[in-house]
């Protein structure tokens, strides 16, 4: 299968950017419901509907959910690209629909999606609520899990731009995890299936983004959904959509999530996850906090009436303005940044920092400043 051709052909062009809300997907879901089953599982804290979309009639049941964290929308876009593909009459799709029943929850946390927050309307992180099950959204997903009895689970998330793929200057564009089911991080038959599936996905991704694939930390947390479902005997794979160079709206990353999903389904269809691929899995570089959005090196500052040379970093914060997410840069760190990279780096060549308060970058301030006499930076970027 030509995965890149499939993406270009079936991409859902009406969805773009980072701010994906229930109102933006409901009409699309209603369109898809003409041929397939669309059900309201229940309602969020603020009484927004939480939808389940089902495709296919096969014995193998695959459960997917996205936007458990409301501000993590890249995988939701990729799901709608997948929905378009599953509407096609290609041989692969016809075979898949006979083999699998696909169960999707496109936005589990519609309140958080609207507010563009990680938490739900009660300020609870749903991915830390699978021991207490205190929230309606967590309860609905767990009830669906018990009712469906899936054979595989796909837990779809975004991760911040701070992560690199190991200790390199490559961002972790896509990261994976086969969650642990106990404190010892043991590998049983259930977790082995998740590990083997991830290894197969990564083998495909290495053809395209070989240095930009990461492995998420596998520390056990019973409060997390993936650890819980793995412990309950269902292989579960965590997908983390991360940063691609100059892709803050994550349209490029979306493509690699789509490719990953197609490859995962292909591997399951071919039953190509039987060999032990633990070594391959463990060779995937572990996610490492080693990035800022901007790093400025060799900057002259005025510190206690002395001129010093230092470095500083700027990190974007995502803020909602109208119907879109914008990125506002704030100074995040000053000093020795030898262990960090910037998605964009600037060598100040010992020119003097200056902003409206003086000659020293202050953490938490907006990134509007100058370097030397002529170089003006607005929101962290050099003004042309």
Domain boundary among 289, 305, 320: 289
Among 34, 32, 52, 28, residue whose Cα is nearest residue 107: 52
Q: Please give the pLDDT value at position 306.
A: 85
Among 220, 155, 154, 153, residue whose Cα is nearest residue 186: 220
For residues 248-254, average pLDDT: 98
Please state the domain count of the chain: 2
219 and 174 belong to one structural domain: yes
244 and 328 belong to one structural domain: no
Domain boundary among 289, 322, 338: 289
270 and 342 belong to one structural domain: no
274 and 339 belong to one structural domain: no
CATH of the domain at 70: 3.40.630.10
CATH of the domain at 322: 2.30.40.10
Query: Does 272 have pLDDT greater than 90?
Result: no
Q: What is the pLDDT of residues 346-362, one digit of tens each?
A: 999 999 999 999 999 99
For residues 296-314, average pLDDT: 93
Cα separation, 70 vs 67, in Å, equals 5
201 and 299 belong to one structural domain: no
Q: Please give the pLDDT value at position 273.
A: 84
182 and 198 belong to one structural domain: yes
Q: What is the pLDDT of residues 100-135, one digit of tens each?
A: 999 999 999 999 999 999 999 999 999 999 999 999
Q: Please give the pLDDT value at position 98.
A: 97
242 and 169 belong to one structural domain: yes
218 and 320 belong to one structural domain: no
48 and 106 belong to one structural domain: yes
Structural domain harbouring 135 = 3-289
Q: What is the pLDDT of residues 187-206, one digit of tens each?
A: 999 999 999 999 999 999 99
Domain boundary among 245, 264, 289: 289
């Amino acid at each position: 299968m030509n995965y890149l051709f499939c993406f270009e052909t079936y991409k859902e062009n009406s969805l773009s950017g980072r701010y994906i809300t229930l109102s933006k997907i409901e009409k699309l879901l209603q369109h898809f419901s003409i041929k397939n089953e669309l059900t309201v599982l229940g309602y969020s804290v603020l009484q927004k509907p939480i939808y389940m979309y089902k495709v296919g009639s096969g014995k193998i049941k695959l459960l997917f959910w996205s936007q458990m964290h409301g501000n993590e929308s890249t995988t939701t876009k990729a799901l709608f690209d997948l929905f378009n593909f599953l509407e096609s009459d290609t041989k692969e799709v016809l075979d898949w629909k006979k083999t699998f029943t696909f169960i999707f929850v496109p936005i589990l946390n519609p309140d958080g999606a609207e507010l563009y927050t990680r938490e739900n309307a009660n300020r609870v992180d749903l991915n830390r609520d699978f021991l207490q099950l205190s929230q309606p959204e967590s309860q609905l997903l767990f009830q669906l899990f018990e009712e469906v009895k899936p054979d595989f689970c796909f837990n779809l998330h975004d991760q911040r731009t701070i992560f690199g793929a190991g200790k390199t200057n490559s961002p972790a564009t896509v990261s994976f995890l086969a969650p642990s089911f106990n404190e010892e991080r043991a590998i049983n038959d259930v977790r082995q299936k998740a590990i083997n599936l991830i290894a197969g996905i990564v083998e495909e991704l290495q053809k395209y983004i070989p240095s930009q694939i990461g492995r998420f930390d596998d520390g056990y947390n019973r409060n997390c959904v993936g650890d819980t479902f793995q412990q309950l005997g269902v292989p579960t794979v965590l997908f983390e959509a991360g940063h691609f160079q100059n892709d803050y709206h994550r349209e490029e990353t979306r493509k690699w999530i789509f490719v990953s999903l197609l490859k995962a389904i292909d591997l399951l269809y071919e039953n190509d996850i039987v060999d032990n691929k633990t070594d391959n899995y463990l060779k995937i570089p572990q996610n490492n906090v080693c990035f800022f959005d901007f790093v400025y090196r060799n900057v002259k500052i005025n510190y206690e009436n002395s001129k010093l040379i230092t470095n500083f970093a700027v990190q974007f914060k995502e803020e909602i303005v109208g119907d879109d997410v914008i990125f506002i840069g704030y100074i995040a760190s000053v000093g020795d940044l030898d262990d960090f990279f910037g998605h964009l780096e600037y060598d100040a060549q010992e020119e003097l920092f200056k902003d409206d308060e003086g000659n020293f970058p202050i953490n938490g301030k907006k990134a509007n400043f100058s370097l030397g006499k002529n170089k003006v930076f607005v929101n962290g970027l050099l003004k042309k």
